[in-house]
Structure 1
Amino acid sequence: MYDKFNLNNGVRVVTEKIPHVKSVSIGVWIEAGSRYENSNNNGTSHFIEHMLFKGTEKRTAKQIAESIDNIGGQLNAFTSKECTCFYAKVLDNHLPIAIDVLSDMLLNSKFDEEEIKKEQSVVVEEINMYDDSPEDVAHDLLSKTIFDGNSLALPILGDVNTVKNLTRKDIIDFFNMHYIPGNTVISIAGNFDMVETRKLLEESFGNWHVNGSTPSIDLPPKLTQRLKYKSKDTEQLHLCLGLEGVSQGSDELYSLLVLNNVFGGSMSSRLFQRVREERGLVYSIFSYPSSYKNVGIFTIYAGLNPNQLLNVTELILEDINDIKDVYLSKDEIYRSKEQLKGNYILGLESTSSRMTSLGKSELLLGKINSPREILEKIDKVSLEGVKEVTDRVFNFDKLNIAYVGKIKNKKSTNEKIRDICFK
């Protein structure tokens, strides 16, 4: 059973009481991410995520960690392109401690100059570590390719130069602009007392008042055909193909998820079975949709020997054309829907998953679909709906390609890929 209310200052709260569990998960969601940045301050959202763990007016960084560690709980955070979340999972009787720690981090962080300097070094090393993962680099390169000229193209971590040049004023200004009650959602899932929890939230967060308005986002990018290559001294080559997907909140997403399961979303998918199992041309190959406000993309990834780049690219396009020619069968759609429902229901057994679903939906969509509603939306996916989304997503006029690795003849290879893909 969901409950939804606003604190006196406008902070939205969404909860789901699950009486049969002994844990509770709480997340504080802020609509702040790399999509709200520019080339000068890229990485600020992620940097603020780090800084909120570095000490408040009443707790040191160590005391923040110990507050949750000492009760056997978990405390963490993450930043994405469109939001930042600080969350804790604790035994149900320790929810008051989790609320106190999270509110202290959010409202009383010091942003100490020395800690900023130290954390800049830490984040630079995180960026360097990320750069050592060519698969991650390939996905970032695809974002830069497909979203060229739009803030969605910016990496979540930022780059070394922008992070090193961040000042305390830059950080505070960004924090005060985005970390405001109207831009915040608190989500709670698990076993808790509603009356007591509501009182605690009002006491902890209700006096938080910051003037400001919810920042706007760029217009959706116009997708066209682009290709980018990044040279990296690796044994394996990492290939990403990107097409237009489905934006957040669209019911078409369920049709796309059904299509993705059959095409490349699982080990039994066509891509995996044909390219890896039957041909042995790749170690890893999969596809997945990503949805944002007013835009979405569909990504196909493959990790392969550089000598197989053209072969694998042709096979991927052949599989796309096969689906476009004959579409999915009723049996494939039925099995895919059952797989989606099974995965979704299994995820409901985690209070963390439920908290995440509640918070993200309310923050980015302003509404929450119940498990029953989501299962009904999956069941309603039709053959015609899958055909429509297939035709729209598998449109080569909006095909983007990014690959990372060691290629002997960059110019010749790029020309051959263009000939294959951009006919």
Structure 2
Amino acid sequence: MIENIKLENNLQIVFEKIPSVRSVCFGIWVKNGSRNESAKVNGISHFIEHMLFKGTEKLSARDIADKMDAVGGQLNAFTSKEYTCYYARVLDTHFDVAIDVLTDMFLNSKFDNDEINKERNVIMEEINMYEDTPEDLAHDLIHQCVWRDDSLGFPVLGTKESISTFNHDIFVNYFNRNYYPENTVLAVAGNFDRDKILEKLSDIFKDYGRKNPYQKKKFKTAYTQGIITKVKDIEQVHMIAAFPGVGMGSEDSYKMAVLNTIFGGGMSSRLFQAVREESGLAYSVYSFNSSFADGGLLSIYAGLNKNQAPELIDKIINEIKKLNTNKITEEDLAKTKEQLKSNYVLSLESTTSRMNAIGRGQLMLNKVLTPEEVIEKIDKVSIADLYELTEKTFDFDQMSICAVGNVDGLDFQEMIQNAK
């Protein structure tokens, strides 16, 4: 059973009691990521995530690690464009330890300048790693391309120039202006004493986020068609083609999941079969949907030989056109639904995945769907829905391209015009 409680300070707590397990996962979700930043402080949300592990008034970084290792717990965090999550997973008998350590990190981090300088070097190397991973770099660049006038296009890691300026005062000011009860959700999934945990969390967070009045941020995201390339002396060209997709919580979300799976979401998909199995144009090729609060992308990735770029673009566009000529059958639809439902249910078989599901849902959509509700939404998708969505999504005049590699001499806009 999933339960949502709003405290007097507007902080939300979402519980999912699972008595059949012996673990519990506790997450602190904040609706703050790289899209909340300005260019001047791009990367600070991700940097804060790192700094919360670097010591509090009571605990050093070593103390934090030792306390969690002593109970065999897992402690981690991640930052995206729209949110940050800090979480701990432990045996149910050690839940108090997890709460004490994670909340101390979250509420009392020191943001010590010496630690900031050391961690800055770590993040610089993380940026270098992305630069040396052309597939990851292509994913970042396509966002910069289509959301060029919006902070949604900012890289989560920031830039070397921006993160080189951060210090204690900048961190404290940003934290106080972006971490509030109103944009924070505490998520707990597993085996726990609900009343005891509610009382403890209510007391710990009673003074949270009151240094500045809460100001809800508003965004206006607009997709802009474009072509972006980055020259790298590597063997392959890593290419992403993108179309406007659907936003998180959209009525079309589950339709898009089905359409994407049929088109390019796996080895049996039409795109994989046509590009790799039938034509041998790429080793890796797939499509994927990226959803954000007010927009999204349907993207197609391929790693290929430079000389095969025109043929690949032609093949991608032809496979999109074939969605209307080589009709989707009821058998295709039934198989895809079973694939999606199986993947979804199997993904929930841990307290960490359940905590992620309820925390993200409550934070981003202000609601949590049960597994039964998700399955029902998948089952409701019809072939007519898919053709309606295909018509809305695949506008070749809105097709954007990002390519990383030896791309000199490649005119992707011309390739699109020739193929369509």
Distance 1:27 1:415 in 2: 44
Q: Which residue does the alignment assign to 1:20?
A: 20
Shift of 1:225: 2.6
Q: Which residue does the alignment assign to 2:194?
A: 194
The 1:324–1:226 alpha-carbon spacing in structure 2 relative to 1, beyond 3 Å, is farther
Secondary structure of the corresponding residue to residue 148 of structure 2: coil
Q: In 2, are the aligned partners of 1:228 and 1:401 still within 8 Å (CA)? A: yes
Task: Tell me the alpha carbon deviations over residues 22-65 of structure 1, each in whole angstroms, 9 at most, x when there is no partner.
Answer: 11111100111011112111101001001101100100011111
1:216 aligns with 2:212: no
Distance 1:334 1:407 in 2: 41
Task: Tell me the alpha carbon deviations over residues 365-422 of structure 1, each in whole angstroms, 9 at most, x when there is no partner.
Answer: 1111111111111111111111111111112222111000013424xx345334336x
Q: Which amino acid aligns with 2:415?
A: I
Distance 1:346 1:265 in 2: 17
Shift of 1:173: 1.4
Q: Which amino acid aligns with 1:140?
A: D
Q: In 1, are the aligned partners of 2:77 and 2:84 still within 8 Å (CA)? A: yes
Q: Which amino acid aligns with 1:309?
A: A
Instruction: Kindly report which structure 2 residues correspond to 1:146-161, keeping only aligned pairs within 5 A, or say none.
Output: 146-161=146-161
Q: In 2, are the aligned partners of 1:287 and 1:300 still within 8 Å (CA)? A: yes
Q: In 1, are the aligned partners of 2:148 and 2:224 still within 8 Å (CA)? A: no
Q: Which residue does the alignment assign to 2:244?
A: 244
| TM-score normalised by structure 2 residue count | 0.97
Q: Which residue does the alignment assign to 1:419?
A: 417
Q: Which residue does the alignment assign to 1:399?
A: 399
Secondary structure of the corresponding residue to residue 21 of structure 2: coil
Q: In 1, are the aligned partners of 2:226 and 2:400 still within 8 Å (CA)? A: yes
Alignment RMSD (CA, Å): 1.4
Distance 1:415 1:248 in 2: 29
Q: Which runs of 5+ in 2 are unaligned?
A: none
Distance 2:26 2:368 in 1: 16
Q: Which runs of 4+ in 1 moved over 4 A?
A: none
The 1:86–1:133 alpha-carbon spacing in structure 2 relative to 1, beyond 3 Å, is same
Distance 2:163 2:207 in 1: 32
The 1:55–1:187 alpha-carbon spacing in structure 2 relative to 1, beyond 3 Å, is same
Q: In 1, are the aligned partners of 2:147 and 2:224 still within 8 Å (CA)? A: no
Secondary structure of the corresponding residue to residue 40 of structure 2: coil
| TM-score normalised by structure 1 residue count | 0.96
1:88 aligns with 2:88: yes
Shift of 1:224: 3.7
Secondary structure of the corresponding residue to residue 39 of structure 2: coil
* Corresponding residue pairs, total: 419
Distance 1:312 1:245 in 2: 21
Instruction: Kindly report which structure 2 residues correspond to 1:341-360, keeping only aligned pairs within 5 A, or say none.
Output: 341-360=341-360
Distance 2:158 2:49 in 1: 13
Distance 2:73 2:313 in 1: 46
Shift of 1:214: 4.1
Shift of 1:207: 3.2
Shift of 1:212: 2.5
Q: Which residue does the alignment assign to 2:33?
A: 33
Distance 1:251 1:189 in 2: 27
Identity between Structure 1 and Structure 2 (%):
46
Distance 2:148 2:100 in 1: 42
Moved more, 231-240 or 275-284: 275-284
Q: Which amino acid aligns with 1:39?
A: A
